[in-house]
Amino acid sequence: MSDQYREGGLDIKAKEGFVLRNIVDEYILMPVGDNIAEFKGTILLNEVSALIWEKLQNPVSKEDLLQAVLDEFEVERSVAAADLDDLLTTLSEYGVLEDD
């Protein structure tokens, strides 16, 4: 993940071609269209990650993502910030975030 994401310097956005589905209380990120052949799989998200994915449908700062988590869930800021960094790194590694 870009260090600028970590520092909050760039807005972050999900790549098009992925949809979030809630199936029996499980959140599944699935490729659609041309991404089906390229991605070959799905990503299982928890409730917090699903909220973040929804926010990523539009360009958003890391700070705004963190605040959305803090507003919705009872969690310490430091824990939420570390978990957000981990999630953004993972999503970046999977290639589902827009490139810098």
Higher pLDDT among residues 38 and 56, named by residue? 56
Residues 32, 47: Cα–Cα separation, whole Å:
21
The closest alpha carbon to 16, from 72, 97, 84, 100, belongs to: 97
Give the pLDDT mean for 58-80. Answer: 97
Is the pLDDT reported for residue 1 higher than 50?
A: no
Edge-to-edge strand list for the sheet holding 26-31: 18-23, 26-31, 43-45
| pLDDT (0 to 100) of residue 56 | 97
pTM of the complete model: 0.85
Residues 68, 58: Cα–Cα separation, whole Å:
14
